[in-house]
Chain A
Amino acid sequence: MSDAASGEGIGQPVRRKEDFRFITGNGHYTDDISRPRQTWAYFLRSPHAHARIKSIDTSAAEAAPGVVAIFTGRHVADDGLGGLICGWTVTSKDGTPMKVGRHPILALDTVRYVGDHVAMVVAETLADARAAAELIDVDYEALPAAVSLSACQSAGAPQVHPEAPRNTCFEWELGNKAETDAAFAKAGRVVKLDLKNNRLIPNAMEPRAALGEFDKGTGIYTLHTTSQNPHVARLVLSAFVGVAPEHKLRVIAPDVGGGFGSKIFIYAEETACVWAAAKVGRPIKWTADRSEAFLSDAHGRDHLSHAELALDKDGKFLALRVKTVANLGAYLSTFSASVPTYLYGTLLSGQYDIPAIHVEVDGVYTHTAPVDAYRGAGRPEATYLVERIVETAARETGIDPAELRRRNYIRTFPHQTPVIMNYDTGDYEASLAAAMEAIDYKGFPARKAEAAKRGKLRGIGFSSYIEACGIAPSAAVGSLGAGVGLWESAEVRVNPTGNVEVLTGSHSHGQGHETTFAQLVASRLGVPLANVEIVHGDTDKVQFGMGTYGSRSGAVGMSAIVKALDKIEAKAKKIAAHLMEAAVEDIVFENGTFTVQGTDKSLAWAELSLAAYTAHGFPSGEIEPGLKEGAFYDPVNFTFPAGCHICEVEIDPDTGIVKIAKFVAVDDFGTVINPMIVEGQVHGGIAQGIGQALLEHGIYDVDSGQLITGSYMDYCMPRADDLPSFDLGFTTTICPSNPLGMKGCGEAGAIASPPAIINAVTDALGIRDIEMPATPARVWTALQSATPRAAAE
């Protein structure tokens, strides 16, 4: 029986292999792992947004009960450790490279945000370490802080880094300014919009954690940590920070409880734990509490933008002009420079044929936590801008929002945008039509009228999004400033008994690779799903890999597996030909059986696997024993998932509460391996998008730089009763650039949904704009100042 027939093959909603351990409490997250003689680390953090450290006196703390060691920036510097790095160099429009402020693992003489790392206390218990940290006497000279994004570039603003005058890390541009200006000069209409993309705090439910160990006998360091990309962590820790040579450092990311980008990066705490393990000669464990996570995980988004869209008299888009100031926080995080530039500016064409685009982005430092990739990373910011201004244009021109989109959709492929991307395929009209059908767009006026009778304001909003995923062709990203290649690796090991281990450089922290990757392998080799084990997350097992983010595990990670499987099949056929005394060309491999074409000779998968290892009588030199193949896959293009989300909201004018009445998402992800898992990814993404649009906001006090939203009491996470059930649909165009035709689905929901929601809210309120998150207070305030139309209904 083939796997497709048995319900395990590609396209089947196979129940997840990994679930059993999670539903029975048998997962192994980093904090679940303990070692004999283990010590605990606690980090003393800066209470100031900006201060000079005059002195640090650790003597009282060192004498406290249970203390094993205390480390400060001085120890780190004396040991010759480098600082943390940004792996992407952005060049300003004047040709100069971005201005990088130094990022020490523990602060040396200056602290630059509330939560910055000042000292590390290692003690017998966490309680001992915490108590001792209170005894460390740090003499700070508090300095004024640059917190406001809009003011941090002004002349008198406090400076975050001496290397970056006016707190400006880079002034980047993309597109053609002259063509854009010319198009605006002859435009029939120009629509302008100022937008804020609110700061978000990722909040994977498992806080970051580390367990550092050092083996004196071998000189090998081991770091268990909450990472989306353990190999990249090892590379940075060895080549840049200098903790240990790469072959003496093992990084393991065991079960990881969500990432959403925040666990891509190499942070101070994890680095310090593995480094100090050798110093104290004992394992060191650190687990962030939620308050530390709020303070020190890299945050997301935080843009201020001005956008202008030029249209002709028929509503055809002529040009888009964008100026954005992007907050980078106090230090550059691992990929932060790429997010508001190459992951943002390149998507500003959206689904539309826009002949000319010019975008300028200033990346700026502020005295706040570092900002880096968070689910979608740059693409939600681009989509928010495009879809908000398109909706605004529809309202100002009086053209129906669906119709205006239709008039401007890209319809022929490949399509070269003015901002680097070459869209390979898509059918935007199809997803729009399916979404309009699903939400019953025609019935909306009646629903609005019915809501009005109940005293409620009903609105509808569209979002036609596109993203660039499957990150990314190494040559392309290299030419744009990346310090790494973004291929993926895979190794397929067939055991003598015929079961299969697949080692992948992708990393699963909720995405279900143990199931979807196994579906691919099982259906290709004709073995039961149960006989395929997916191995990931350990630098000792998997040779190298780039990890999981940017919806790349399917399009890139699985493509690498396909390549390795091609090699396995080729070698297996050679062995089969030898065993059945036939020509290789005559061997057919189907449903796990090798046959000689036109004969009744056949060989089962398990027989062949065993023969590969007994190797009896292999013609020497022609066939090597064993059945194991590896491959590296470097994508030839990005992939372009796209679709249409439509949201209907109902607002209570008395309270300002926005209720999502209906949410429809129709996505084109290309080939889908497991629809159940893909739908789950979309649900989660939409929930995060609704969080951004209605609930979540990372706020710093603009004077003191204190994080005001530093706990779940203050930062509004989406809860079950804030959300509706979602109505999902799919349209499909196959991605031509990878062997499986996959595009990726991990970020779509978070990218597409915020503009759909805000378009619906502003439609309901009859106003031009409202800042995210559209909290009841903001909505109510908007209603009070709105036209009588909204108030009277």
Chain B
Amino acid sequence: MPVVSMTVNGKPASADVEARTLLVQFIREQLGLTGTHVGCDTSQCGACVVHVDGRAVKSCTMLAAQAEGAEIVTIEGLAKNGELHPVQAAFREHHGLQCGFCTPGMIMTAVDMIRRKPDLDEETVRDELEGNICRCTGYHNIVKAILAASREMR
């Protein structure tokens, strides 16, 4: 079995894994970081989104081996020094979550979205969320939270 090594949330992580191991399995099962979720098997729902070298990636759609040497950030690594990331804080402030299952993926997607498009408007946010499914919120408050965070981070 190949050894894969990467940096996860600022710490080195490496393990012997079967070649077919997905990045999300590596994160959840090898590293025990269960904040990243699996909501589908067709790369549609976005519950598994993490950052790979700063970009939002569906970790169910990438092999752990492909992340060799990469810099990974998961939802657990987003808050810095005990302080919530502005997107995390905005989700709470604007009630952008109910059951919380889609939330880690939504937040990781949103952070990347705001980085790429600092001048977000509602339509753009809705377009950009195409790859993230939420069954609880109707997206209304997720959109509100992302717009609020993007304004704050400007």
Q: Which residues of A contact B (CB under 8 A)?
A: 15-16, 18-29, 31-32, 127, 203-207, 255-258, 260, 287, 289-291, 509-512, 676-677, 679-681, 683-688, 711-713, 717-721, 723, 725-726, 749
Contact = CB atoms under 8 A, between A and B. Distances in A.
Given A24-B35, A205-B102, A725-B122, A683 B134 contact: no
A205 B35 contact: no
Nearest to B144: A725
Given A711-B42, A721-B126, 18 more contacts: A22-B103, A23-B107, A24-B84, A25-B35, A205-B47, A207-B38, A255-B100, A683-B139, A684-B138, A685-B138, A687-B137, A712-B40, A712-B44, A712-B133, A719-B132, A721-B129, A723-B126, A725-B122
Contacts of B102: 205
A204 B135 contact: yes
A719 B40 CA distance: 15
Nearest to B146: A720
B152 interface: no
A132 B30 CA distance: 23
A20 B103 CA distance: 11
A290 B107 CA distance: 22
Contacts of A32: 28, 34
Interface in B124-154: 125-127, 129-130, 132-143
Interface string B5-32: 0000000000000101000000010000
Nearest to B99: A510
B117 interface: no
Given A290-B42, A721-B129, A256 B135 contact: no
Given A206-B37, A725-B143, A717 B135 contact: yes
Contacts of B129: 719-721
Contacts of A23: 75, 84, 88, 91-92, 97, 100, 103, 107
Contacts of B125: 720
Given A22-B97, A207-B39, A713-B44, A725 B140 contact: yes
Scoring B39, B78, B125 by chain A CB atoms within 10 A of each residue's CB, the highest score goes to: B39
A510 B96 CA distance: 11
Contacts of A713: 42, 44
Nearest to A674: B95
Given A205-B39, A257-B100, A683 B141 contact: yes
B92 A16 contact: yes
Nearest to B102: A205
A205 B126 contact: no
A22 B97 CA distance: 8
A687 B138 contact: yes
Contacts of B53: none
A285 B90 CA distance: 35
A713 B38 CA distance: 16
Given A205-B102, A684-B136, A711 B41 contact: yes
B76 A512 contact: no
A554 B86 CA distance: 32
B39 A687 contact: no
A659 to B, nearest CB: 12
Contacts of B134: 205, 720
A20 B41 CA distance: 28
B98 interface: yes
A291 B97 contact: no
Given A25-B34, A205-B47, A260-B135, A291 B41 contact: yes
A205 B42 contact: no
A446 B99 CA distance: 41
A707 to B, nearest CB: 14
Contacts of A711: 40-42, 44
A204 B141 CA distance: 18
B74 interface: yes
B103 A290 contact: no
Contacts of B41: 289-291, 711
B3 to A, nearest CB: 19
Interface in B105-119: 107
Contacts of B76: 24-26
A720 B98 contact: no
Scoring B36, B101, B107, B130 by chain A CB atoms within 10 A of each residue's CB, the highest score goes to: B101
B88 to A, nearest CB: 4
A452 to B, nearest CB: 24
Majority secondary structure, B binding face: loop
A467 B103 CA distance: 30
Nearest to B20: A127
A720 B126 contact: yes
Nearest to B44: A712
A712 to B, nearest CB: 4
B62 interface: no
Contact of A257 (B34, B99, B142): B99
A27 B139 CA distance: 21
A201 B104 CA distance: 24
A24 B88 contact: yes
B131 to A, nearest CB: 8
29 contacts: A15-B92, A16-B95, A22-B103, A23-B84, A23-B91, A23-B103, A23-B107, A25-B33, A27-B101, A204-B99, A205-B37, A206-B99, A206-B101, A207-B38, A255-B99, A256-B99, A258-B99, A290-B40, A511-B98, A676-B95, A684-B135, A687-B138, A712-B45, A719-B129, A719-B130, A720-B139, A720-B142, A723-B138, A723-B139
Nearest to B76: A25
Contacts of A510: 98-100, 136
Contact of A680 (B38, B74, B103, B137): B137
Contacts of B79: 24
B68 interface: no
Contacts of B107: 23
B58 to A, nearest CB: 12
Contact of B98 (A258, A291, A686): A258
A588 B61 CA distance: 63
Scoring B41, B75, B76, B133 by chain A CB atoms within 10 A of each residue's CB, the highest score goes to: B41
A675 to B, nearest CB: 10
Scoring A24, A32, A712 by chain B CB atoms within 10 A of each residue's CB, the highest score goes to: A24
Contacts of A18: 100
Contacts of B100: 18-19, 21-23, 27, 255, 257, 510
Contacts of B91: 19, 23
Contacts of A260: 135
B97 A712 contact: no
A685 B139 CA distance: 11
A512 B98 CA distance: 7
A680 B98 contact: yes
B93 interface: yes
A23 B84 CA distance: 9
A721 B127 contact: yes
A29 B99 CA distance: 10
Nearest to A508: B99
Scoring A23, A206, A718 by chain B CB atoms within 10 A of each residue's CB, the highest score goes to: A23
Contacts of A683: 137-141
Nearest to A509: B99
B149 to A, nearest CB: 12
Nearest to A207: B39
B19 to A, nearest CB: 12
B17 to A, nearest CB: 12
Query: Which 5 residue pairs are nearest across A and B when measured between Cβ atoms?
Result: A25-B35, A257-B101, A22-B100, A687-B138, A510-B99
B137 A684 contact: yes
Contacts of A723: 126, 138-140
Contacts of A679: 95
Given A206-B101, A511-B98, A20 B42 contact: no
B93 to A, nearest CB: 6
Contacts of B126: 720-721, 723
Given A23-B84, A684-B138, A725-B140, A720 B33 contact: no
Contacts of A717: 133, 135
A28 B132 CA distance: 21
B106 to A, nearest CB: 10
